[in-house]
């Protein structure tokens, strides 16, 4: 079985389906691009070998000629790498300088370039394009003197030629700024990934060891702990580097409970930097799936004032059934000032916020001490989700060292499972809640009915369009025949009915 599953996962990469076909095409295109780039590189590298092909022969042939002595001497040294104001690929070189101008430094802008007639005759723009202009320390000899002088004078003149060549600039650290920054960021990212991952795991394990191990609160309340169905199964299910889940089942009044730890993305350096600017907390959400017969008509929520208003606006069940409550019933002891209750009726609020809860967590005295991590509570029999009857409790997680701080908050989970499991509405409150539910059910039914009608109308409209299109396609003759038939039918209808009787 395991082998087949691994085969199916691996085969999905090799057998092209609709989505994977595009994936393979993309891979091929990228590989072809890579091949093209590499081939271009090799071609450019090879062309460098052919540069100056047959230079020696040409130089020997032209050395005796007296006509081209004015041309600048080509050297085997590499061209100067001094930058010019022109771009690299738009060169506009003029003809070479004559003997008089070549002796003067190039940097002098006052002397104009005056090419001699004989040098201009041999100037080929294409061939000499991009050649560096070389400076000579002494004036070149005239053709007559050059002819008279022997081989010794030739050597002397050659030794006097100086070519200005600047060596290639050495690469400094400044030229690799982008690379240094990016590589160092990647290294930091890698280190942070492992350290952040470990940090998150420590928090999750600290919570599990405190509340989900042997003789802990969940062990005493649930018969099955962990996501597996065996004995030695892991307690926590790791869904991501920052999401851990704990499941428990086998308890009265409920089908099961799922605790989801949504921690900060400590493993992600970018998220960590963002969290430094915009701080956020590690959260744990308890979702209790209640039995259908165990929960009465209850829609109730408790949260900090700001969040309570947001919840009332956004959550469908609270929007439809509940309203914000500012004060407690019959001026009795009530929740801390920071908190706000959203409930269907004050009776429900009074019954669910008991004296015990106020003393332990939600009271004015207890809340600053023990309710620091409290975020929200939401109990509903009309929850819009996979399960209808739900209890959702949300708390902030403390550090791994201070996990004991949330003991009282975690104790609220089994307490409210039992409280709501046993809770029954009074005969006075029940009719109101049931009326509200029937009203909502009717609204939902109407919405569905309207949606169905709209769908039917759309279908009819589409059919009409199709029929019209088909008619438009029909030829003129067929249309004439149809019209004739229609006329005949109408005539028959209009004609008076005559009864024929036979005379015997």
Partner 1 sequence: MSSHGGNSSAANDPRQPSTAKPYVPPAVSPQELPIDYAGFIAVIFGIAGVLFRYKLSSWVAIIFCAQSLSNMKNIETDLKQVSMAMMFAIMGLVSNYFGPARPGTQRG
Residues that bind partner 1 (CB under 8 A): 9, 12, 19-20, 23, 26-27, 30, 33-34, 37-38, 40-41, 44, 87-89, 171, 175, 178-179, 182, 185-186, 189-190, 193, 217, 220-224, 226-229, 237, 239-241, 243, 247, 249-252, 255-256, 258, 265, 267-270, 356-357, 360, 386, 408, 411-412, 414-415, 417-418
Closest approach, Cβ 94 to partner 1, in A, equals: 22
* Closest to partner 1 by CB, 234 or 431: 234
- Kindly state the tokens that stand for 407: 């003991």
Backbone angles phi, psi at 287, to 5 degrees: -110, 115
Backbone angles phi, psi at 340, to 5 degrees: -135, 140
- Measured from the Cβ of residue 65, the count of other Cβ atoms closer than 10 Å reads 10
* Closest to partner 1 by CB, 321 or 379: 379
Nearest to 222 by CA among 250, 247, 246: 250
Cα angle for residues 370, 374, 375 (degrees, 5° grid): 165
- Kindly state the tokens that stand for 300: 């109730």
Nearest to 398 by CA among 361, 373, 367: 373
* Closest to partner 1 by CB, 221 or 382: 221
- Measured from the Cβ of residue 253, the count of other Cβ atoms closer than 10 Å reads 18
Backbone angles phi, psi at 289, to 5 degrees: -90, 105
Closest approach, Cβ 81 to partner 1, in A, equals: 9
Closest approach, Cβ 116 to partner 1, in A, equals: 35
Beta bridge partners of 247: 258
Closest approach, Cβ 240 to partner 1, in A, equals: 5
On whether the CB atoms of residues 413 and 345 are closer than 8 A, the answer is no
* Closest to partner 1 by CB, 123 or 274: 274
CA distance 395 to 261: 10
* Closest to partner 1 by CB, 207 or 222: 222
Closest approach, Cβ 201 to partner 1, in A, equals: 14
On whether the CB atoms of residues 158 and 136 are closer than 8 A, the answer is no
* Closest to partner 1 by CB, 259 or 303: 259
Nearest to 302 by CA among 395, 185, 204, 187: 395
* Closest to partner 1 by CB, 241 or 275: 241
* Closest to partner 1 by CB, 34 or 488: 34
* Closest to partner 1 by CB, 144 or 215: 215
Closest approach, Cβ 86 to partner 1, in A, equals: 11
Q: Angle between the 269-277 and 177-211 helix axes, to the nearest 10 degrees?
A: 80
DSSP code of residue 127 = T
Closest approach, Cβ 474 to partner 1, in A, equals: 43
CA distance 79 to 492: 105
Closest approach, Cβ 463 to partner 1, in A, equals: 30
* Closest to partner 1 by CB, 378 or 408: 408
CA distance 168 to 147: 39
Closest approach, Cβ 34 to partner 1, in A, equals: 6
* Closest to partner 1 by CB, 40 or 487: 40
Backbone angles phi, psi at 259, to 5 degrees: -105, 125
* Closest to partner 1 by CB, 23 or 62: 23
- Kindly state the tokens that stand for 436: 């509200």
3-state secondary structure 179-191: HHHHHHHHHHHHH
Measured over the CA atoms of residue 181, residue 187, residue 190 and residue 196, the dihedral's sign is: negative
Closest approach, Cβ 227 to partner 1, in A, equals: 4
By three-state DSSP, how is residue 231 classified?
coil
Closest approach, Cβ 30 to partner 1, in A, equals: 5
Where residue 330 falls (left for φ over 0; alpha for ψ -120 to 50; beta otherwise) is left
Nearest to 407 by CA among 206, 261, 217: 217
Closest approach, Cβ 220 to partner 1, in A, equals: 4
Taking only Cα atoms into account, the Rg of the chain, rounded to an integer number of angstroms, comes to 45
Closest approach, Cβ 222 to partner 1, in A, equals: 6
- Alpha-helical segments (H) within 64-167: 99-103, 117-121, 143-148, 151-160
CA distance 12 to 6: 10
* Closest to partner 1 by CB, 73 or 411: 411
């Amino acid at each position: 079985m395991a082998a087949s599953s691994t085969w199916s996962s691996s085969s999905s990469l090799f057998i092209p389906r609709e989505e994977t076909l595009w994936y393979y095409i993309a891979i091929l295109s990228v590989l072809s691009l890579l091949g093209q780039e590499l081939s271009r590189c090799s071609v450019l590298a090879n062309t460098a070998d052919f540069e100056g092909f047959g230079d020696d022969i040409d130089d020997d042939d032209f050395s005796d000629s007296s006509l081209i002595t004015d041309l600048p001497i080509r050297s085997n040294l590499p061209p100067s790498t001094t930058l010019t104001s022109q771009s690299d690929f738009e060169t506009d070189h003029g003809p070479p300088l004559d003997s008089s101008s070549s002796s003067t430094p190039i940097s002098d802008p006052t002397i104009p370039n005056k090419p001699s007639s004989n040098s201009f005759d041999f100037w080929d723009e294409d061939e000499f394009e991009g050649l560096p202009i070389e400076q000579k320390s002494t004036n070149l000899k005239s053709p007559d003197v050059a002819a008279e002088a022997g081989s010794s004078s030739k050597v002397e003149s050659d030794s006097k030629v100086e070519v200005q060549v600047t060596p290639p600039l050495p690469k400094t650290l400044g030229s690799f700024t982008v690379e240094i920054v990016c590589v160092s960021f990647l290294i930091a990212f890698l280190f942070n990934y492992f350290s952040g991952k470990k940090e998150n795991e420590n928090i999750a394990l600290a919570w599990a060891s405190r509340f989900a191990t042997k003789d802990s609160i969940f062990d005493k309340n649930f018969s099955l702990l962990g996501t597996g169905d065996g004995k030695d199964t892991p307690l926590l299910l790791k869904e991501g580097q920052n999401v851990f889940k704990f499941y428990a089942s086998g308890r009265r009044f409920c089908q099961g409970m799922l605790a989801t730890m949504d921690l900060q993305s400590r493993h992600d350096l970018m998220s960590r930097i963002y969290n430094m600017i915009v701080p956020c907390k590690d959260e744990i959400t308890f979702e209790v799936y209640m039995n259908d017969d165990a929960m009465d008509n209850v829609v109730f929520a408790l949260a900090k004032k700001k969040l309570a208003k947001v919840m009332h606006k956004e959550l469908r069940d609270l929007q439809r059934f509940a309203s914000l409550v500012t004060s407690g019933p019959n001026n009795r002891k009530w929740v801390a000032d920071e908190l706000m209750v959203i409930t269907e009726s004050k009776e429900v609020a009074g019954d669910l916020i008991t004296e015990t809860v106020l003393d332990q967590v939600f009271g004015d005295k207890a809340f600053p001490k023990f309710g620091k991590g409290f975020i929200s509570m939401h109990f509903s029999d009309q929850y819009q989700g996979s399960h209808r009857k739900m209890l959702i409790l949300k708390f902030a997680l403390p550090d791994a060292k201070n996990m004991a701080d949330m003991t009282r908050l975690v104790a609220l989970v089994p307490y409210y499972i039992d409280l709501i499991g046993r809770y029954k509405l009074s005969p006075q409150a029940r009719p109101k809640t049931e009326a509200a539910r029937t009203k909502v059910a009717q609204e939902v039914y109407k919405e569905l009915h309207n949606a169905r009608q709209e769908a039917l109308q759309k279908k009819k409209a589409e059919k009409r369009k199709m029929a019209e299109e088909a008619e438009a396609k029909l030829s003129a003759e067929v249309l004439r025949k149809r019209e004739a038939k229609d006329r005949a039918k109408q005539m028959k209808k209009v004609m008076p009915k005559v009864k024929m009787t036979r005379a015997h």
